[in-house]
Amino acid sequence: MAGIRERSCDLRFFHPQDAKAGTLAKYIRGLIQYGMGPLA
């Protein structure tokens, strides 16, 4: 299980099957695209 916390937001957990399905990657790309990720 992986946990990701957005800045000043809730912690979101992802199961291994989410990572295999590409859900985790889509979530991270969306955060970065909209300027909410750690690289923004």
Q: Give 2-31 pLDDT, tens digit per residue.
A: 787 777 778 888 888 887 888 888 888 887
Q: Is 40 helix (H, G, I), strand (E, B) or coil?
A: coil
* Residue 9 identity (one-letter amino acid): C
Range of the domain at 22: 2-33
* Domain total of the chain: 1
List the structure tokens of 13.
């957990």
Residue 8 DSSP symbol: T
**Quick one: pLDDT at residue 40?**
44
Note the pLDDT of residue 37.
Answer: 52
pTM of the predicted model as reported, rounded to 2 decimal places: 0.55
Residue 6 maps to a domain: yes
Question: First vs last Cα of the chain: how many Å apart?
Answer: 25
Residue 38 lies in a domain: no
Mean pLDDT of 31-36: 74
Q: How confident is the model at residue 36 (pLDDT cuts 50, 70, 90)?
A: low
Q: How far apart are CA 22 and CA 1, in angstroms?
A: 14
Going by C-alpha positions, the residue among 6, 4, 28, 5 that lies closest to residue 14 is 4
